[in-house]
Structure 1
Amino acid sequence: MRTRLSIAVMLAWMTPSAAPALEFVEGKLQVHGFASQAVVKSTDNYYFGNSPETSFDFTEIGLNASYQKTPNLLFSGQLLVRRAGEMYDGTPSLDYGLVDFSPLSDAEKRLGVRLGRIKNPFGLYNETRDVPFTRPSIFLPQAIYYDKIRNALLSFDGIMFYGDRYLEQGNLSLNLGVGQSVIDNNVEWTYLGDDLDGDLRAEGINWGIGSLWFSTPSDSLKLGLSAILTEMDFNAGPESPLSSGTIDVFDWVASFQYNAADWTISAEYSRAPTRWNDFGPYWPFKDQVVEGYYLQGAYRLRPNLEIMSRYEEGFANRKDRDGRDFSDLTGGTTPRFDFFSKILTLGLRWDINPNIMFRLEFQRHDGTYALSIRENPDPGDLVREWDVFAASVSVRF
């Protein structure tokens, strides 16, 4: 609703220009928060709500807290209220909640373990994707950071071991984790094409996450390799057209970022071999390798004013980049352009003060693979070439 945008703008102008975090217990307990409201207008297709009619259904409100019990023991968590079209309805959820213990920490190295609901150190932006101020744009590159399966990518329930080594040449960071993925209805819509009679869930303790990062001491150069292994089990109900089966996904991404005084260049490449097992004769897909990549540049005209451009491509199967083979598997009911997305993005960021941010964004789309099937259930209504105009205002403390 328009009221949401009006409230966000009013809060922005009422927020002090340098509001500190709330601190308690002699500074050991810190509380932060943020709120963001966007308006989205598309020429066709549903993108975070009924965007052809102008959507105000992209709202984020978060509250996080951290308690530094001792120098080596930290408790941290965040609650998020997120409204994103038909994908997320604003129900409060736990983004992360963990205990971080680092028994070994000095000027040369650090070793530790995290336990709880933990953010996945996947790519450049996954760990910080839930906070509008830490994203490079209103919407992350959908060729890698799919919002249609956001919760499954964001975090997992389990344990993670990490280590950092500080060298003269730069810093090395290694993360290894295991646990259970966070599966919601959006994952079922994405991988099975509908909300079927049955239950899709993580298959036991099956989630594996690993990442290796190198960064120079000044963070001018950052290189990384991240991977996520997910196994899901579908228990079909009596009304399901599909049989009970399993889905295996191995998603990895190579990351590059270079930071200079006034500009930043980022690029990432991802592949996700995916396999469907035992779903019966009515499920046409068996194996595919999802592929995505982007190149992004940001230039700071002033310390508080930044322009950004990005080009990205994503494919349901790297061996079928025009979507022709996959469209044939559906008997032509799904158009071939629903199996790829090519997106050009131009953006502007204005930090009105350290706690208030305003953004404008334009996207030119060729293909609809980035779209949520949940928001666009009828493939016959899809339009191949379409544009998006978006604006957002965000506040934080």
Structure 2
Amino acid sequence: MKLRFVSSRSTRGVLSALAFALGFAGTSSAAVTWQDIQFGGFASQGYLLSSANDYLGETSDGTFDFREYALNASWAKGKFRIGAQAFGQKLGQYGEDRIKLDWATIDYQPAQWLGFRAGRVKMPRGLYNEALDLDSVRPFVLLPQSVYDARLRDFNAAFNGAMIFGNISLRQAGSVDYRLFYGDIPMSTSSGASDYFNNDQPFPNTSIGMDAVYGGSVFWNTPATGLRVGYSYSTFENFGVDRIAYYGGMTIPLQKLTSNHHRHLLSAEYTYGDWIFAAEAGWENAHSVILMAGQPSGSVADFDSDYYYVSVARRVHARVELGAYVSHSHDATVLIPAQAGLSLPPLSQTDYAVSAKFDLNEHLIFKLEGHYLDGSGKLFDTPAHPQPFVQRDNSWTMVAAKMTLSF
């Protein structure tokens, strides 16, 4: 595997930004408070290089198109709390360094067991979905992609709507954290979610959206010190995409796909001294109707996906934390009746990862991670970025590095 650098203005800009971060970190303070408003944020720059295939960007040539940055602010008084975060990212062809409103909420919690939240709300899914930006609390450059696919942040991170939440004491039996939500997720055809739902299809999406998203999570903080287990559920109601085809220079409507998409996720985490063990397993399914242009009825597509990961992390030094995980996913789509050229083979991928995190000082961390990947089922093959299944390498490696400044 060759490490290839391209001398360019963008690469020099990245290196300059890292140099600035190193200098700034030595004098920066943590969150800043002004008029009872607390400000914080982070900026990270990474590098990805794979021995084959393009995953999370043009990784087979090595890419610096792997960065995130945000600024957040929050204010609290009594039973009320208001907060928001502006966020930008570049992950391969996604993000394009556009600044957007990542989340913005107002909370009212009259009691420990009952609270209300509204606005652009973080999605309660699994152990870590509401803490995607807390880079300093885990050694991994990439969370297990079978559950926390970095390309689907627009789809998974937050929704526009409302939530009911709380913590219910069970006395000697521990306590339960619950969240129930309802809302909507605006999406774009340039997003990773659009490519995910257009994977291995010969025609691009022209629109993508849903009527609503709803669900919740429940986590039991068991009486065993350090152990919590939970379940998360969500449904995307009337989720749909429109696709088109191009023939002889003409744009022709081809098909409309709609479904109710259901997701389930079981989670467990155990902290013991300097050790953290975690495991999550999920499955999702959708029964979709495909209507072809000009046809009164269509065919059916059954989509099923199952996935899991097991991870372990341990702090071995005041400034060093190590981690490892195995992450697996398997997707299958069956068209009834089968349509020539549109049927998909089962898509599987197993990722074996080892990581190291170095706390350079209070605000600056560096991470280095190696991956061995068996299978290529999580690669995207789209009209804009073709990567046909039969041309993929199914035994490959990837190296990821990341520097993060938190303030």
TM-score, with length taken from structure 1: 0.88
207, 221, 229: which one aligns with 1:215: 221
Cα distance in 2, alignment partners of residues 220 and 208 from structure 1: 29
State the 1:120 CA deviation: 0.9
| Residue of 149, 157, 182 corresponding to 1:146 | 149
* Counterpart residue type for residue 296 of structure 1: S
Amino acid at match of 2:125: F
Q: Is the 8 A contact 1:18 1:354 kept in 2?
A: no
Query: Which one of the candidate residues 32, 36, 41 is aligned to 1:22?
Result: 32
Are the structure 2 counterparts of residues 284 and 390 from structure 1 closer, same or farther at C-alpha, using a change threshold of 3 Å? farther
Query: In the alignment, is the contact (CA less than 8 A) between 1:46 and 1:376 conserved in 2?
Result: no
Q: 1:315 aligns with which of 307, 325, 330?
A: 330
- How far apart, CA to CA, are the structure 2 residues paired with 1:330 and 1:278? 11
Identity %: 24
Describe the superposition over 1:230-249 as per-residue Cα deviations: whole angstroms up to 9, x where unpaired: 13133556835532231321
Distance 2:343 2:320 in 1: 42
Shift of 1:365: 0.7
Q: Residue 17 of structure 2: SS of its match in structure 1?
A: helix
User: Is the partner of 1:391 in helix, strand or coil?
Assistant: strand
Report the secondary structure of 2:173's partner residue: coil
Per-residue CA deviations over 1:202-241 (Å, capped at 9, x if unaligned) read 22xx211210011247961111101111131335568355
Alignment length, in residue pairs?
380
Alignment correspondent of 2:176: 172
What is aligned with 2:281?
269
Structure 2, unpaired ranges of 5+: 1-9, 246-250
Structure 1 residues 120-176: Cα deviation after superposition (integer angstroms, max 9, x where no partner) = 110011111134324551111111112232211111110100121233432211110
1:184 equivalent in structure 2:
188
TM-score (norm 2): 0.86
Q: 8 Å contact 2:357–2:368 — kept in the other structure? A: yes
Equivalent residue number for residue 198 of structure 1: 206
Equivalent of 2:18 in 2, 8, 11: 8
Query: CA–CA distance in 1 between the matches of 2:61 and 2:172?
Result: 55
> Partner residue of 2:130?
127
Which deviates further from its counterpart, 184-193 or 109-118?
Answer: 184-193
SS state at 1:127 partner: helix
Q: Secondary structure at the residue paired with 2:29? A: coil
Contact 2:88 2:95 (C-alpha < 8 Å) held by counterparts: no
> Counterpart in 1 of 2:7?
none
Find the partner of 2:90 among 73, 83, 91: 83
1:44 equivalent among 49, 52, 64: 52
2:316 to 285, 288, 301: 301
Shift of 1:21: 0.9
Is contact 1:155-1:182 (8 Å) kept?
no
What is the Cα-based RMSD across aligned positions, in Å? 2.7
Report the residue type matching 1:377 in the other structure.
P
Cα distance per residue 1:266-286 (max 9 Å; x no partner) = 000000112221343999871
Q: Name the aligned partner's letter for residue 292 of structure 1.
A: Y
Mark the CA change 1:168 to 1:304 in structure 2 (over 3 Å): closer, same or farther.
farther
Q: Which one is further off, 343-352 or 188-197? A: 188-197
* Offset from partner CA, 1:67-118 (integer Å, 9 cap, x none): 11x21111111111100001221111111111111122xxxx3311100110
Unaligned 5+ segments in structure 1 are: none
Structure 2 vs 1, CA of residues 213 and 376 (structure 1 numbering), >3 Å: closer, same or farther? same
1:112 aligns with 2:122: no
For 2:32 and 2:381, how far apart are their aligned partners in 1? 41
